[in-house]
Chains A and B, each alone.
Chain A
Amino acid sequence: MLRRDFLSSCLGTGLSTALPLGLLPGALRAEAAPLKLRELYNKDKSFSGIALGLEGKPLTVEGFMAPPLKADSTFFVLTKMPMSVCPFCETEADWPADILAIYTRRTFRTVSYSRKIEVSGLLELGPFRDPDTGFLSRVRLTGAHFDIA
Chain B
Amino acid sequence: MFNALWHSLPLWAQDGAIALALLAPALLQAPLILRGYRLGPLLRGLLRRHAGLSLVFILLIATSVAIGAAITAQERALRQGSARAADKFDLIVAAPGSEITAMLAAVYLQPSALPLIDGETFAEIAATEQVALAAPIAFGDSWQGAPIVGSTAEFVTHLAETLAEGRLFESTEEAVVGAGVPLEIGARFTPAHGHGVADAAEAHDVAYEVVGRMPRTGSPWDKALIVPVEAVWGVHGLADGHGPDWDGTLGPPFDPSRFPGTPAVLIRASSLWANYALQRAFTTERTMAFFPGNVLSRLHAIMGDLRQILSVVALLTQVLVTAAVLAGLMMLTRLLARRLALLRALGAPRRFIFALTWSFAGSLILAGTALGLLLGLIAARILSGMITARTDVLVTAHLGWPELHLVAGFVSLTLSLALIPAALTIRRPVIADLRL
Direct contact of A and B (CB under 8 A): yes
Please, which residues of chain A bring their CB within 8 A of the CB of B272?
77, 99, 101, 135-137
Chain B residues within an 8 Å CB radius of A11: 6, 17-18, 21
Taking a contact as CB atoms under 8 Å apart, the answer to whether A71 and B82 are in contact is yes
CB closest chain-A residue, reference B299: A71
Which of chain A's residues have a CB closer than 8 A to the CB of B271? 96, 135-136
Inter-chain CA distance A90–B205, complex, in Å, is 52
Q: Is the CB of B8 within 8 A of A95?
A: no
- Interface status of A28 (Cβ within 8 A of chain B): yes
Q: In the bound complex, how far is the Cα of B3 from the Cα of A30, in angstroms?
A: 10
- What is the CA–CA distance of A63 and B189 in the complex, to the nearest angstrom? 53
- CB contacts (< 8 Å) of A31 on chain B: these are 1, 3-4
A120-B7 in contact given A16-B1, A96-B273, A136-B272 (Cβ < 8 Å): yes
Does residue B80 face the partner (Cβ distance < 8 Å to A)? Answer: yes
Tell me which residues across on chain B come within 8 A of A135, comparing CB atoms. 271-272
Bound-complex Cα distance A132 to B276 (A): 19
Which residues from 20 to 50 on chain A have a C-beta closer than 8 Å to any C-beta of chain B? 24-25, 27-28, 30-31
Q: Does A14 contact B (CB under 8 A)?
A: yes
A109–B301 CB distance below 8 A: yes
**A83 in contact with B4 (CB, 8 Å):** no
Chain A residue numbers with a CB within 8 Å of B87 are 70, 132-133
Q: Does A126 contact B (CB under 8 A)?
A: no
Q: Mark A119-142, 1 if CB is under 8 A from B, else 0.
A: 010000000000011111100000
Contacts of A96 in B (CB 8 A): 271, 273
State whether A67 and B294 are in contact (beta carbons under 8 Å apart), knowing that A72-B80, A101-B272, A110-B301 are contacts in the complex. Answer: yes
How long is the Cα–Cα vector from A54 to B130 in the complex, in angstroms?
Answer: 31
- Given A24-B1, A25-B4, A70-B293, CB of A95 within 8 Å of CB of B83: no
Query: In the bound complex, do residue B11 and residue A69 qualify as a contact, i.e. CB atoms below 8 Å apart?
Result: no
Give the CA-CA distance A72 to B297 in the complex, in Å. 7
A1 within 8 A of B: no
B275 at the interface (CB under 8 A from A): yes
Q: Which residues B1-58 have CB closer than 8 A to chain A? A: 1-8, 11, 14, 17-18, 21
- Closest Cβ of chain A to B132, distance in Å, is 9
| Residues in chain B near residue A8, CB distance under 8 A | 2-3, 6-7, 14
Q: How many residues of B contact A (CB 8 A)?
A: 42
Q: Is the CB of A72 within 8 A of B83?
A: yes
Given A8-B14, A77-B276, A109-B304, A28 and B1 contact (CB-CB distance below 8 Å): yes
CB distance from B268 to the nearest CB of A (A): 8
Residue of A nearest to B269 (CB): A135
Given contacts A69-B275, A101-B272, A137-B272, are A110 and B297 in contact (CB under 8 A)?
Answer: yes
A residues less than 8 Å from B304 (CB atoms): 109
Q: Decide if A13 touches B11 in the complex (CB within 8 Å).
A: no
Residues of A within 8 A of B14 (CB): 8
Q: Which residues of B contact A58 (CB under 8 A)?
A: 4
B365 interfacial contact with A, CB 8 Å: no
Chain B 298-340, CB-CB to A under 8 Å as 1, else 0, gives: 1111001000000000000000000000000000000000000
The answer on a CB contact under 8 Å between A71 and B293 is yes
Give the CA-CA distance A8 to B1 in the complex, in Å: 12
Interface flag for A106 (CB, 8 Å):
yes
Separation of A11 and B5 alpha carbons in the complex (Å): 11
**B254: chain A residues within 8 A (beta carbon):** none
In Å, the complex CA distance between A12 and B3 comes to 7
Q: Which residues of B contact A27 (CB under 8 A)?
A: 4-5, 7-8
B203 at the interface (CB under 8 A from A): no
Residues of A within 8 A of B8 (CB): 25, 27
A-B contact pairs, 16 of them (CB 8 A): A9-B3, A15-B2, A15-B5, A15-B6, A19-B5, A27-B4, A68-B291, A69-B90, A71-B292, A72-B296, A73-B83, A77-B273, A110-B294, A110-B297, A137-B272, A145-B7
Known contacts A12-B6, A68-B291, A110-B298; 13 additional CB pairs below 8 A are A10-B21, A11-B17, A15-B5, A27-B5, A30-B7, A31-B1, A70-B86, A70-B297, A72-B79, A92-B277, A99-B273, A109-B304, A135-B271
Chain A positions near chain B (C-beta within 8 angstroms): 7-16, 19, 24-25, 27-28, 30-31, 58, 66-73, 77, 83, 87, 92, 95-96, 99, 101, 105-106, 109-110, 120, 132-137, 145
Could you tell me which B residues sit within 8 Å of A by CB distance?
Answer: 1-8, 11, 14, 17-18, 21, 79-80, 82-83, 86-87, 90, 130, 268, 271-277, 280, 283, 291-294, 296-301, 304
